[in-house]
Chain A
């Protein structure tokens, strides 16, 4: 499968600050996705990031709170802005397909970033 790395793996942040999470993929991909996984909950899609265009946000998520960059086909960042304790969650990056499974109907996930906001 595609090798997806995220930085940082975890962080503890103060209320009101912002954190930028990086996602790096070892191959070029068209679509990258950002998910949130809150404690005891399922995965919720935040936005879809295409290279060269603005991200598409899901209902309940806005660009001012979760700005996303996609400067090239192997990299994306998600910023969690003006954080509050409710933003404590695991944030996951994912891509479609992989070297071993080029099907674009299957998503593969990074290791996640565990964020705790105090």
Chain B
């Protein structure tokens, strides 16, 4: 069975600081990887996803994530955060060609101080 670990449960940053949120998964096969974001009072939205090809994926709002297969990791990054990035971030994984239902990590709460 798959599992997804997000090691940072709470992150507090000041505006303009750089962000990296860790995500590791356990599964021996080929996977699709996702980052979702949930802004306060809003619904869960897809931030970016990786299916194949360039392991560096660019998403909306200046976010990017890098898939490192050897490390089973898919860390989310942003070079300079803004107050509006305050949100809950979820990493998720599903099997390529298998069950399309994703397994989610516990989420990371990001607070950005102005």
Contact = CB atoms under 8 A, between A and B. Distances in A.
Contacts of A110: 43
Interface residues of B, number: 21
B72 interface: no
Task: Please indicate which of the listed interface residues B44, B46, B94 has the most CB atoms of chain A within 10 Å of its own CB.
Answer: B44
B46 A1 contact: yes
A43 B94 CA distance: 14
Interface in B28-43: 32, 34, 36, 42-43
Interface stretch (B14-22, B63-71, B104-112): B104-112
Contacts, number: 45
Given A96-B100, A104-B100, A105-B32, A41 B106 contact: yes
Contacts of B101: 33, 45, 48, 107
A41 B109 CA distance: 11
17 contacts: A42-B105, A43-B90, A45-B101, A48-B101, A92-B44, A103-B51, A105-B32, A105-B51, A105-B96, A105-B100, A106-B32, A106-B34, A106-B46, A106-B49, A107-B101, A107-B102, A108-B46
Interface residues of A, number: 22
